[in-house]
Amino acid sequence: MELMSILLQTQSTGNSMMTLLPLLLVFVIFYFFMIRPQQKKQKEIQKMRENMQVGDKVVTAGGVYGKLKEINNAILTVEIAEGVRIKIDKASVFAANNEAQSTK
């Protein structure tokens, strides 16, 4: 009887490992195909925002194209047309320099 209970315990432990293995595999795949690339992209965008300089062409998250005229900490002044300037938050800049192609 004792041997039978030990065998059943060993078998149930093996079954629980086999149950967790697909779940672990899904998490690993999800990490490498979804989470990691998104983290890399966020780091690139953050680096781009830190390296912006006056005169760079920018595109906001709302799709507004313009030229950077002034930088004050987290607030940027962007010229979107001759003499038309708007103030935006630094976090709303989606692309700068080469990525921001002007339609002019």
Q: Please classify residue 82 by burial: count the beta carbons closer than 10 Å to its beta carbon, then call 0-12 exposed, 13-18 middle and 19+ buried.
A: exposed
Q: Do residues 80 and 63 touch, judged by C-beta distance below 8 A?
A: no
The residue ranges of every structural domain in the chain are 1-51, 52-99
Pick one of 1.10.10, 3.40.50, 3.30.1360, 2.30.30 as the CATH number of 52-99: 2.30.30
Residue 90 pLDDT class (50, 70, 90 cuts): very high
Q: What is the DSSP letter of 33?
A: I
Residue 12 pLDDT class (50, 70, 90 cuts): low
Q: How far is CA 50 from CA 38, 45, 47, 58, 83, in A?
A: 18, 9, 5, 13, 26
Cβ count near 73 (within 10 Å): 6
Q: Which pTM value belongs to this model? A: 0.62
**How confident is the model over 61-85, as pLDDT tens digits?**
899 999 999 999 899 999 999 999 9
Nearest residue to 59 via CA among 102, 100, 88 = 100
Percent of the chain past pLDDT 70, that is, above it, reads: 80
